[in-house]
Structure 1
Amino acid sequence: MVFRLPSMISSSSKQFLKLHSKNQKGVPKGHVAVYVGVNEEKKRYVVPLTCLSRPEFQNLLSRAEEEFGFNHPMGGLTIPCNEETFIHVLNCQ
Protein backbone atom coordinates (compact mmCIF):
# COMPACT_ATOMS: atom_id res chain seq x y z
CA MET A 1 0.00 0.00 0.00
CA VAL A 2 1.38 3.39 -0.96
CA PHE A 3 0.16 6.65 0.54
CA ARG A 4 0.43 9.93 -1.35
CA LEU A 5 0.53 12.97 0.86
CA PRO A 6 1.31 16.55 -0.10
CA SER A 7 4.93 17.40 0.53
CA MET A 8 5.69 20.36 2.79
CA ILE A 9 9.41 20.22 3.42
CA SER A 10 11.21 22.90 5.38
CA SER A 11 14.42 24.20 3.84
CA SER A 12 16.47 22.96 6.81
CA SER A 13 15.02 19.45 6.37
CA LYS A 14 15.85 19.53 2.66
CA GLN A 15 19.43 20.55 3.40
CA PHE A 16 19.81 17.86 6.09
CA LEU A 17 18.44 15.10 3.88
CA LYS A 18 20.44 16.21 0.84
CA LEU A 19 23.69 16.43 2.81
CA HIS A 20 23.33 13.11 4.57
CA SER A 21 21.80 11.12 1.72
CA LYS A 22 24.97 11.80 -0.29
CA ASN A 23 27.22 10.67 2.56
CA GLN A 24 27.81 7.09 1.42
CA LYS A 25 30.88 6.45 3.60
CA GLY A 26 29.29 6.37 7.01
CA VAL A 27 26.47 7.30 9.28
CA PRO A 28 26.93 10.02 11.91
CA LYS A 29 26.55 9.03 15.55
CA GLY A 30 22.91 9.15 16.63
CA HIS A 31 21.60 8.45 13.12
CA VAL A 32 20.53 5.46 11.06
CA ALA A 33 20.63 4.88 7.29
CA VAL A 34 17.44 3.70 5.61
CA TYR A 35 16.53 2.97 2.01
CA VAL A 36 13.25 4.43 0.76
CA GLY A 37 11.25 3.47 -2.29
CA VAL A 38 8.60 1.18 -3.71
CA ASN A 39 10.34 0.07 -6.90
CA GLU A 40 13.75 -1.32 -7.77
CA GLU A 41 15.48 2.04 -7.39
CA LYS A 42 15.67 3.09 -3.75
CA LYS A 43 17.26 6.19 -2.25
CA ARG A 44 19.40 6.18 0.88
CA TYR A 45 18.57 8.60 3.71
CA VAL A 46 20.26 9.16 7.04
CA VAL A 47 17.79 10.06 9.79
CA PRO A 48 18.18 10.88 13.49
CA LEU A 49 17.44 8.02 15.88
CA THR A 50 14.90 10.26 17.64
CA CYS A 51 12.62 9.83 14.60
CA LEU A 52 12.31 6.09 15.27
CA SER A 53 10.05 6.61 18.28
CA ARG A 54 7.48 8.75 16.43
CA PRO A 55 4.15 6.96 15.83
CA GLU A 56 4.21 7.83 12.12
CA PHE A 57 7.70 6.36 11.71
CA GLN A 58 6.69 3.29 13.76
CA ASN A 59 3.92 2.73 11.21
CA LEU A 60 6.48 2.77 8.39
CA LEU A 61 8.68 0.33 10.32
CA SER A 62 5.71 -2.01 10.80
CA ARG A 63 5.03 -1.92 7.06
CA ALA A 64 8.70 -2.69 6.38
CA GLU A 65 8.53 -5.66 8.76
CA GLU A 66 5.36 -6.96 7.07
CA GLU A 67 6.86 -6.68 3.60
CA PHE A 68 10.46 -7.74 4.19
CA GLY A 69 10.65 -9.33 7.63
CA PHE A 70 14.29 -9.31 8.63
CA ASN A 71 15.57 -10.04 5.12
CA HIS A 72 16.06 -6.59 3.57
CA PRO A 73 17.10 -6.69 -0.10
CA MET A 74 19.41 -3.66 0.19
CA GLY A 75 21.32 -5.09 3.15
CA GLY A 76 19.90 -2.37 5.38
CA LEU A 77 16.56 -1.16 6.61
CA THR A 78 14.23 -0.63 3.65
CA ILE A 79 11.09 1.50 4.03
CA PRO A 80 8.42 0.55 1.44
CA CYS A 81 6.89 3.96 0.67
CA ASN A 82 7.46 6.78 -1.77
CA GLU A 83 9.89 9.57 -0.96
CA GLU A 84 7.20 12.22 -0.50
CA THR A 85 5.49 10.17 2.20
CA PHE A 86 8.78 9.45 3.93
CA ILE A 87 9.79 13.11 4.01
CA HIS A 88 6.33 14.07 5.23
CA VAL A 89 6.64 11.57 8.11
CA LEU A 90 10.04 13.01 9.02
CA ASN A 91 8.57 16.51 9.18
CA CYS A 92 5.63 15.49 11.41
CA GLN A 93 6.23 16.42 15.02
Structure 2
Amino acid sequence: MNDSTQAMVDFLRERYRTNVHTHERLFSAFANGQIGADMGGTIETRTRHAHQPLREAESMLELFEHTIVAHLGTAGPMGAIAEQPLRILAHPFL
Protein backbone atom coordinates (compact mmCIF):
# COMPACT_ATOMS: atom_id res chain seq x y z
CA MET A 1 0.00 0.00 0.00
CA ASN A 2 1.48 3.34 -0.97
CA ASP A 3 1.62 6.38 1.33
CA SER A 4 -1.34 8.08 -0.32
CA THR A 5 -3.54 5.02 0.08
CA GLN A 6 -2.43 4.54 3.68
CA ALA A 7 -3.21 8.18 4.44
CA MET A 8 -6.75 7.77 3.09
CA VAL A 9 -7.24 4.59 5.14
CA ASP A 10 -5.97 6.27 8.30
CA PHE A 11 -8.11 9.35 7.75
CA LEU A 12 -11.33 7.45 7.03
CA ARG A 13 -10.73 4.95 9.82
CA GLU A 14 -10.36 7.82 12.30
CA ARG A 15 -13.51 9.53 11.00
CA TYR A 16 -15.53 6.32 11.30
CA ARG A 17 -14.19 5.59 14.78
CA THR A 18 -14.93 9.16 15.89
CA ASN A 19 -18.45 8.83 14.54
CA VAL A 20 -18.96 5.58 16.49
CA HIS A 21 -17.60 7.20 19.65
CA THR A 22 -19.87 10.24 19.25
CA HIS A 23 -22.96 8.08 18.80
CA GLU A 24 -21.98 5.88 21.74
CA ARG A 25 -21.83 8.96 23.96
CA LEU A 26 -25.18 10.24 22.66
CA PHE A 27 -26.79 6.84 23.11
CA SER A 28 -25.47 6.64 26.66
CA ALA A 29 -26.69 10.16 27.46
CA PHE A 30 -30.18 9.35 26.16
CA ALA A 31 -30.24 6.01 27.99
CA ASN A 32 -29.19 7.64 31.26
CA GLY A 33 -31.71 10.45 30.89
CA GLN A 34 -28.96 13.09 30.75
CA ILE A 35 -30.39 14.58 27.55
CA GLY A 36 -33.70 14.41 25.78
CA ALA A 37 -36.10 14.89 28.68
CA ASP A 38 -37.57 17.94 26.94
CA MET A 39 -38.13 15.89 23.76
CA GLY A 40 -41.07 13.99 25.22
CA GLY A 41 -41.65 10.29 25.16
CA THR A 42 -40.09 7.72 27.41
CA ILE A 43 -36.40 7.12 27.98
CA GLU A 44 -36.85 3.80 26.18
CA THR A 45 -38.28 5.50 23.09
CA ARG A 46 -35.55 8.13 22.99
CA THR A 47 -32.89 5.47 23.55
CA ARG A 48 -34.27 3.32 20.74
CA HIS A 49 -34.10 6.31 18.38
CA ALA A 50 -30.53 7.08 19.49
CA HIS A 51 -29.50 3.46 18.97
CA GLN A 52 -30.11 3.50 15.20
CA PRO A 53 -27.39 6.05 14.32
CA LEU A 54 -24.99 4.16 16.57
CA ARG A 55 -25.68 0.91 14.73
CA GLU A 56 -25.23 2.71 11.39
CA ALA A 57 -21.88 4.16 12.48
CA GLU A 58 -20.68 0.76 13.69
CA SER A 59 -21.81 -0.84 10.42
CA MET A 60 -19.95 1.71 8.32
CA LEU A 61 -16.72 1.08 10.22
CA GLU A 62 -17.15 -2.69 9.89
CA LEU A 63 -17.99 -2.44 6.19
CA PHE A 64 -14.96 -0.22 5.59
CA GLU A 65 -12.59 -2.55 7.44
CA HIS A 66 -13.89 -5.85 6.02
CA THR A 67 -14.70 -4.97 2.43
CA ILE A 68 -12.11 -2.32 1.57
CA VAL A 69 -9.15 -2.25 3.94
CA ALA A 70 -8.89 -6.04 4.16
CA HIS A 71 -8.42 -6.26 0.38
CA LEU A 72 -6.10 -3.33 -0.29
CA GLY A 73 -2.86 -4.55 -1.81
CA THR A 74 -3.99 -8.16 -2.15
CA ALA A 75 -3.74 -10.21 -5.32
CA GLY A 76 -6.75 -10.94 -7.45
CA PRO A 77 -9.78 -8.96 -8.49
CA MET A 78 -10.73 -7.77 -4.99
CA GLY A 79 -7.29 -6.30 -4.45
CA ALA A 80 -7.41 -4.67 -7.86
CA ILE A 81 -10.66 -2.86 -7.20
CA ALA A 82 -10.40 -2.19 -3.44
CA GLU A 83 -8.78 1.19 -3.96
CA GLN A 84 -11.70 2.46 -6.05
CA PRO A 85 -14.29 2.49 -3.22
CA LEU A 86 -11.60 3.85 -0.89
CA ARG A 87 -11.11 6.84 -3.18
CA ILE A 88 -14.87 7.29 -3.56
CA LEU A 89 -15.30 7.40 0.24
CA ALA A 90 -12.36 9.77 0.65
CA HIS A 91 -13.33 12.07 -2.23
CA PRO A 92 -15.65 14.40 -0.26
CA PHE A 93 -12.78 15.20 2.10
CA LEU A 94 -10.09 15.87 -0.51
Q: Which has the higher contact order (CA 8 A, sep 6+)?
A: 1
TM-score normalized by the length of structure 2? 0.25
Q: Which structure has greater strand proportion?
A: 1
TM-score normalized by the length of structure 1? 0.25
Asked which structure has the greater CA Rg, the reply is 2
Q: Which structure has greater helix proportion?
A: 2
